[in-house]
Amino acid sequence: MAGPVEQPWDAIILGAGAAGMMCAAVAGQRGRRVLLADHADAPGKKILISGGGRCNFTNIHTAADRYLSANPHFAKSALGRYSAQDFLALVDRHGIAWHEKTLGQLFCDGSAKQIVAMLQAECDKGGVAMALGAGITGVDHGEGLYRVTLGDREHRAPALVLATGGPSIPKLGATGFAYDVARRFGLSVVQPRPALVPFTLGPDDALFQSLSGVSADVVVRWGKTRFREAALFTHRGLSGPAMLQISSYWQHRTPIQVDFLPDRAADWLLEEKRVRPRAQLRKLLGQALPERLADALLERAGVQGELGALSDKALRQLGARLADWPFTPSGTEGYAKAEVTVGGIATAGLSSRTMEAAKAPGLYAIGEAVDVTGWLGGYNFQWAWASGWAAGQAI
Ligand code: FDA
């Protein structure tokens, strides 16, 4: 049995990450007495390491179709009510300088620390109490109140918000805690798996592992989903933004297709043959792609020589293969390297307006813990802010 019972709070929020801090600040500033608890000794640790230390805090192209979820419509309401522009206005109010890097991705000019400091200041403004560095040893419900045991103290509130994120990067303190609590209160969980994660390649593709460090602008495709971004070969397999993006969609034992020359017409090799029959294929491809990559692709395709000495059929086949090169990853680098988790607390049991669980009134789930996962590029933080804001308005 826990020790002293603390004053009843209006809401207890578990997880002082992106979503939990936003939710706490919003509810606190509405006059709610909020306790924000985390087993880490400081808030926002993932924010600090995000975007290479500069935090890609939102994306100006945010829209629900850039998120994966069993219910693709679920995120619309929250994303519509708290937009990228709303978060940007907050960033501007705090005088944080930012820039657009590429594809609508907004980063701090300075440091991700500024985003954590901003959220901390917003929490302070709302009088949010923080309980950091204490494990959550119990979560219960009775007599209309949620009871949370932190260390040797029990706290009670009519509202409990699950904001402990997903299990990606366990060495930063990430856990599947939210899923366990959700299940205990009758919610279902969509099978979680690592996402925005590098692929590993098997022994058949050892040739490509020797290209570690080589990158190329590609179109990568899995089924009907495609991304045009950089791909990077690593000593274990494939990484870079293109591969991270497609990894969120990929299913085990299926191939991904890579177009290494997305700007070339289908018959470009035949055209080159007509214009430069004496040109070496190796040299030609080495001008269009990093040389080591060009060599590896030609070695694997088993085609060499002068263009004029190669048949039209062979060149057509090679062009088609370079535009649709199949890799079947042996797996991914798993939660240790995944930026996010796909799956999580099923949206079917949650209100899209408030994030409250239908089966457990007063229980809310926000952020990455929920089965809503964004593309790479600031979309995941925008979901954390928007879902945190929605619950913060409701608790
Ligand atoms: P978040 O993980 O932020 O917070 C959860 C909190 O709960 C943590 O403070 C944790 O300590 C706490 N917690 C967990 N288990 C607990 C337990 N059992 N008891 C108590 N507390 C517990 N996204 C993006 O949009 N732009 C970017 O630039 C990046 N970059 C990036 C880089 C790297 C390396 C990673 C790993 C991830 C990103 N992301 C990102 C993803 C982004 O960090 C992520 O989607 C959000 O942090 C999710 O916010 P949440 O608040 O839901 O979880």
pLDDT tens by residue, 87-142: 999 999 999 999 999 999 999 999 999 999 999 999 999 999 999 999 999 999 99
Å from CA of 17 to ligand 1 middle: 6
Per-residue pLDDT tens digits for 288-309:
999 999 999 999 999 999 999 9
pTM value surpassing 0.80: yes
Per-residue pLDDT tens digits for 28-80:
999 999 999 999 999 999 999 999 999 999 999 999 999 999 999 999 999 99
Mean pLDDT score, 247-265? 97
Mean pLDDT score, 382-394? 99
23 in ligand 1 pocket by Cβ < 6 Å? Answer: no
Residue with the nearest Cα to atom 49 of ligand 1? 18
Mean pLDDT score, 364-374? 98
pLDDT value for 343? 98
Å from CA of 33 to ligand 1 middle: 24
pLDDT value for 3? 60
205 in ligand 1 pocket by Cβ < 6 Å? Answer: no
Per-residue pLDDT tens digits for 2-32:
566 666 899 999 999 999 999 999 999 999 9
Question: For residue 79, with 0-12 CB atoms within 10 Å meaning exposed, 13-18 middle and 19 or more buried, which class applies?
Answer: buried
Mean pLDDT, the chain, whole residue set: 97
Enumerate long-range contacts of 153-156, CB under 8 Å, 24 or more apart: 153/2, 153/3, 153/4, 153/5, 153/6, 154/2, 154/3, 154/4, 154/5, 154/6, 155/5, 155/6, 155/9, 155/12, 155/35, 155/37, 155/131, 156/5, 156/6, 156/8, 156/9, 156/12
Residue with the nearest Cα to atom 13 of ligand 1? 164
Å from CA of 82 to ligand 1 middle: 19
Label the pairing between strands 225-233 and 215-222.
antiparallel
pLDDT value for 8? 85
